[in-house]
């Protein structure tokens, strides 16, 4: 059987827009009738997602699969690195934790991991009609040339035509594109077939003859100048993106603690779509009082608890709770709200016992078994923030190590294996609760009801109608921008070349 053609998107640096462009290309080619799969050999990210069969992958690949109209699977992101404290990372291979290693030792594992990358890509090429491959960071990291598993090594293995993306919004795009190419080997340069300038604001005429000069210097065509897409609502892969979004004035303010190792912060994207809500990511006590405080997920709960204490945020959260400000903890944030965390096997740190914030009567015990599954849940309580929601059905997913017990539960979980379990804990007044469920605010009725409870506490009338939230329209928007600003004929020729056309 012939292998499916591939296109590869690499960038001059992190956060130049590779993930968004790949998502847009997945939707664009799916619209053209291709059965498309995304692929990223190695992803370093704390935003993750769960496949239907309970395997963990990077959130960006889940987004790209959704854009392609296919279900995400572990082969689309065979290696996921989740940074922890003390320069370590958990290595997730084909959706399962493989081990935790110091960063300096990771690349010694490449002989074990490279065959996994190759088999995963080959399987996708056998089962789909087109694979869109995403690189990571920059291919010009000369110190990593012999050990990298995600950029030019993948391109050489797949004989993939590479599109090199530069971010003009941060400046220096001509130098970054030219310099990246110059630092590649001649064989690697031959794989780069086209250049893309991303996030352009203003009139393209302002680029003058810069594009022609860049083409003459590099011998590569500029196949598109993609405009900056305002208000894009797709899940960010890197927490660096959080700094770009200033919160507007609104009736309600939701303060999300920006933990150093914050994970799954796309949990809060649906809140940002509500016109009466301003979401603020904070790393120090604010000068104004929010309507809601959220402790998000964390890859290193113990280390991030230390951060809360050293920054003054721990005392601030406890004071706000004592004043009646509602507080929600999700996953690692839920663990922090409890009385204590026990780590007898030293899964997370060298400390076997750590005191929590003691806002919930919960104890957490870490173990080496990682829970990754999608869930359906029923709200069990009818107090405080959740008044009127008893019996409400919500969906989401779990990604955590550790078990938390104690306190009245918030949800009854109906798991994909047909088992039932209680989740979370809540205070008697219903103003402080925690849960392991990610994706909670994606549920529109749950989201709007909780926000309307906050409005009522402020003496404001409820809105009742949730704002529409869905990423599908965003994929269409990205695909339309690419259709208008990329040389689509050039891309199709790259595909047909691989078919011998």
**Residues forming the active site:** 331, 438
The maximal CA–CA distance of the chain, rounded, in angstroms, is 70
DSSP 8-state code for residue 69: T
Q: What phi, psi does 33 have (nearest 5°)?
A: 105, 0
**Distance from C-alpha of 89 to C-alpha of 271, rounded to nearest angstrom:** 30
Q: How many CB atoms lie within 10 A of CB 403?
A: 14
User: Please, is 123 exposed, middle or buried when counting C-beta atoms within 10 Å of its C-beta (0-12, 13-18, 19+)?
Assistant: middle
The secondary structure of 386-436 as a DSSP string is: GTT-TT-EEEEEEEEEEEEE-S--SEEEEETTS-EEEE-EE-TTSSEEEES
Strands 222-227, 252-257: parallel, antiparallel or unpaired by DSSP?
Answer: unpaired
Place of tokens 């005392």: 315
Nearest to 432 by CA among 272, 307, 321, 287: 321
433 neighbors 410 (Cβ within 8 angstroms): yes
**Distance from C-alpha of 444 to C-alpha of 433, rounded to nearest angstrom:** 19
Query: CA–CA distance from 162 to each of 114, 199, 392, 491 (Å)?
Result: 20, 19, 48, 10
DSSP 8-state code for residue 343: -
SS3 content of the chain, % helix, strand, coil (to 5): 35, 30, 35
Place of tokens 């598993």: 149
Q: What phi, psi does 164 have (nearest 5°)?
A: -100, 125
Report which secondary-structure segment, H or E, holds 50: strand 48-50
Can you say whether residue 209 is alpha, beta or left, with left for phi > 0 and alpha for psi between -120 and 50 degrees? alpha
String of b and e for 81-95 (b: at least 16 CB within 10 Å)?
bbbbbeebbbbbbbb
Nearest to 302 by CA among 359, 345, 261, 268: 261
DSSP 8-state code for residue 141: -
180 neighbors 140 (Cβ within 8 angstroms): yes
**Distance from C-alpha of 296 to C-alpha of 258, rounded to nearest angstrom:** 8
Torsion of the alpha carbons at 229, 232, 236 and 240, rounded to the nearest 10? 60
**Distance from C-alpha of 72 to C-alpha of 119, rounded to nearest angstrom:** 17
**Distance from C-alpha of 56 to C-alpha of 49, rounded to nearest angstrom:** 6
């Amino acid at each position: 059987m012939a292998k499916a053609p591939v296109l590869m998107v690499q960038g001059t640096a992190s956060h130049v827009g590779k993930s968004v462009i790949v998502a847009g290309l997945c939707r664009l080619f799916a619209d053209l009738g291709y059965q498309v799969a995304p692929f990223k050999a190695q992803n370093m990210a704390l935003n993750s997602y769960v496949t239907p069969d309970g395997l963990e992958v990077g959130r960006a690949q889940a987004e790209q699969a959704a854009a392609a109209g296919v279900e995400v699977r572990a082969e689309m992101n065979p290696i996921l690195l989740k940074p922890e404290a003390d320069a370590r990372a958990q290595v997730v291979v084909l959706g399962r934790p493989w081990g935790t290693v110091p960063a300096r030792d990771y690349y010694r594992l490449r002989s074990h991991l490279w065959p996994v990358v190759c088999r995963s890509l080959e399987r996708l090429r056998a089962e789909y009609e087109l694979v869109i491959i995403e690189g990571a960071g920059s291919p010009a990291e000369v110190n990593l040339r012999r050990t990298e598993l995600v950029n030019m090594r993948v391109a050489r293995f797949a004989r993939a035509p590479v599109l090199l993306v530069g971010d003009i919004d941060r400046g220096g795009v001509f130098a970054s594109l030219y310099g990246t190419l110059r630092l590649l080997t001649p064989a690697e340069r031959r794989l780069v077939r086209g250049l893309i300038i991303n996030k352009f604001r203003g009139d393209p005429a302002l680029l003058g003859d810069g594009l022609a000069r860049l083409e003459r210097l590099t011998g590569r065509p500029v196949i598109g100048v993609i405009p900056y897409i305002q208000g894009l609502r797709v899940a960010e892969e890197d927490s660096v993106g959080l700094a770009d979004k200033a919160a507007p004035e609104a009736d309600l303010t939701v303060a999300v603690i920006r933990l150093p190792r914050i994970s799954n912060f796309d949990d809060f994207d649906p809140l940002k779509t509500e016109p009466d809500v301003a979401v603020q990511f904070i790393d120090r006590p604010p000068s104004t009082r929010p309507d809601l405080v959220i402790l998000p997920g964390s890859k290193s709960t113990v280390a991030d608890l230390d951060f809360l204490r050293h920054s003054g945020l721990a005392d601030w959260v406890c004071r706000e709770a004592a004043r009646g400000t509602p507080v929600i903890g999700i996953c690692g944030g839920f663990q922090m709200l409890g009385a204590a965390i026990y780590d007898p096997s030293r899964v997370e740190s060298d400390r076997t016992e750590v005191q929590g914030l003691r806002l919930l009567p919960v104890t957490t015990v870490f173990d080496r078994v990682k829970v990754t599954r999608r869930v359906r849940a029923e709200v069990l309580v009818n107090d405080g923030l959740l008044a009127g929601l008893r019996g409400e059905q919500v969906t989401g997913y779990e990604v955590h190590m550790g078990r938390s017990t104690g306190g009245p539960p918030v949800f009854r979980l109906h798991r994909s294996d047909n088992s039932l379990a209680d989740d979370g804990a809540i205070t008697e007044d219903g103003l402080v609760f925690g849960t392991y469920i990610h994706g909670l605010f994606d549920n529109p009725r749950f989201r709007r009801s909780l926000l309307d409870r906050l409005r009522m506490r402020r003496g404001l009338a409820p809105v009742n109608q949730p704002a529409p939230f869905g990423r599908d329209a965003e994929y269409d928007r990205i695909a339309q921008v690419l259709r208008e600003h990329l040389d689509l004929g050039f891309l199709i020729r790259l595909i047909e070349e691989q078919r011998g056309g």
